[in-house]
Structure 1
Amino acid sequence: MFHRKTRIPEYQIAGDEVAVIETGKGTIRVKLDSDGAPIHVANFCELATMGFYDGLKFHRYVPGFVIQGGCPNTRDMTCEQVAAGQAGPDGQPGTGGPGWCIQEEFSTNPRNSHEDGALAMARSMDPNSAGSQFYFCLGPQHNLDSGYTVFGATVEGKDVIGALRAGDEIVKVDIVHGA
């Protein structure tokens, strides 16, 4: 990922956002934590409502650790190219973003706990470099608590998360309100 100017998202959070992430393996529902990570939730919701995530692929799978997606470089790549770790027409999967970064919230979020199924933002070495790439924890990963912002908890579809692999498609992400 590359560093860009830190940005405040324009999306106005209501506080009851749920991300419905449709993948090639099934649907995942995530209760977003707008109280603990309002910037991350607003950023994710803004990108989702713009259709940014639609058609991207998960590009990183580490068994027992994380499944990661949200890199726009995967948009024009086949699932097989992403799974093989090939570079695409827009660059290497895992190095792209939306053109901006957001402020870290792991130091202020009282619920910043990487539990099984937690949704968190990936970043580079700079704590304020998260943009669009996110990951789901495949089991508790508390070693990440002090360095990466958790902004949601999976309420449905942990089996889907467990079945995802590099190359699997993010068909679309919708933001709905209420559980």
Structure 2
Amino acid sequence: MLRPSISLIASITLFFFSSCGNKTGRKPNIEKTAKKELIGNKADSIPSEIKKEKTEEAEFVLTEENAIDFFFKYAKEVKENKVRLTTNMGSFTIQLFDNVPYHKANFIYLIKKGYFDNTQFHRIVKDFIIQGGNSDDKATGRKRAKIGRYLLPPDTRKGHKHHRGTISMPSSERDNPHKLASPYEFFIVVTKPGSYHLDGSYTPFGRIIEGMDIVDKINQVDVDEGDWPMLNVTILKAEVF
């Protein structure tokens, strides 16, 4: 029987170990590893530092089941009660009512999340209202999906009426006999002295204290048959203070 020489065994062993090693000598690319995870690779392939970042970035999502409890607590934490909306036609300031806590807290929360930035006054009815908080931009839908899907109960018995300059919240377009409010939109009354037929159906949660002339200016822009402005009226920035 032929026996392999010692030199042949050593050569085979050296070839085996060199083949199993990292030929390039480079460290794994963390960005590529993380990218693969986004398209369905197993989580255990992600380095620990990437796992930590993904956990920290996880966002709380509002639902119809948790929204009321969340805003009940959130309303106790917020200190701000004024809002400034800056549009491409000028800015105006809103004083929020303290005794409609859910609606006030919701508006402040969305502003702090940056939701209203780059949305539009998408419905304008002459000498009646301007309605904002939506757009035909897909980014608005993505922001809504990230924050959550929920409605707010009406809060109409706090003594607030739909005077001129009042900001209120429209009801959802879904089958909605209880007039649950659509939290992502709002309207401002332009009618003189007010639109009191809205009382009892919608929830006023603030009033314009500065810049009503800008609201009137927005109300006079040309619109199409669906009350959508012919030129975009964009909310550039929403701020609380």
TM tier, smaller: 0.7 to 0.9
1:56 pairs with 2:119 = yes
1:14-163 to structure 2, matched below 5 A, reads: 14=79, 17-35=81-99, 37-71=100-134, 73-76=135-138, 99-106=149-156, 108-111=157-160, 113-124=161-172, 125=176, 126-139=178-191, 140-163=194-217
CA deviation map 1:80-109 (0-9, x unaligned): xxxxxxxxx95xxxxxx9521112111x32
CA contact (8 A) 1:103 1:130 kept: no
Judge conservation of contact 2:170–2:202 (CA < 8 Å) in 1. Answer: yes
Q: Which one-letter code corresponds to 1:134 in the other structure?
A: F
Distance in 2, matches of 1:34 and 1:49, equals 18
- Bigger relative contact order, structure 1 or 2 (CA pairs below 8 A, ≥6 apart): 1
Q: CA RMSD in A?
A: 2.3
Where structure 2 has 5 or more consecutive residues not aligned to the other structure, the ranges are 1-62, 142-146, 222-228
Q: Which whole-Å CA distance do the structure 2 matches of 1:98 and 1:153 have between them?
A: 26
Code of the aligned partner of 1:163: K
Distance in 2, Cα, partners of 1:138 & 1:121: 15
Aligned to 2:64: 5
Name the aligned partner's letter for residue 103 of structure 1: P
Q: Is the radius of gyration larger for structure 1 or structure 2? A: 2
Percent identical pairs in the alignment equals: 25
SS at match of 2:120: coil
Amino acid at match of 1:148: Y
Paired residues, number:
152
Distance in 2 separating the partners of 1:128 and 1:145: 14
SS where residue 197 of structure 2 aligns? helix
Cα distance in structure 2, aligned partners of 1:27 and 1:128: 29
Aligned to 2:55: none
Compute the displacement of 1:162 (Å): 0.7
| Letter paired with 1:117 | G
CA gap of 1:100–1:29, structure 2 versus 1, over 3 A, is same
Instruction: Tell me by how many angstroms 1:76 deviates.
Output: 4.3
Could you list the per-position Cα deviations for residues 115-141 of structure 1 after superposition, in whole angstroms to 9, with x for gaps in the alignment? 111100011344123211100101210
1:75, CA displacement in angstroms?
A: 3.6
Structure 1 SS opposite 2:201 = coil
**Do the aligned partners of 1:57 and 1:75 also contact (CA within 8 Å) in 2?**
no
Unmatched tracts of structure 1, length 5 or more: 78-88, 91-96
For normalisation by structure 2, the TM-score amounts to 0.58
Following superposition, which runs of at least 4 residues in structure 1 exceed 3 angstroms of deviation?
A: 73-77
SS, match of residue 151 in structure 2: coil
Where 2:84 maps in the other structure, the secondary structure is: strand
Report the structure, 1 or 2, having the larger helix content: 2
| CA deviations over 1:3-44 (Å, ceiling 9, x no partner) | x72622235333x51010111111110100012x11100000
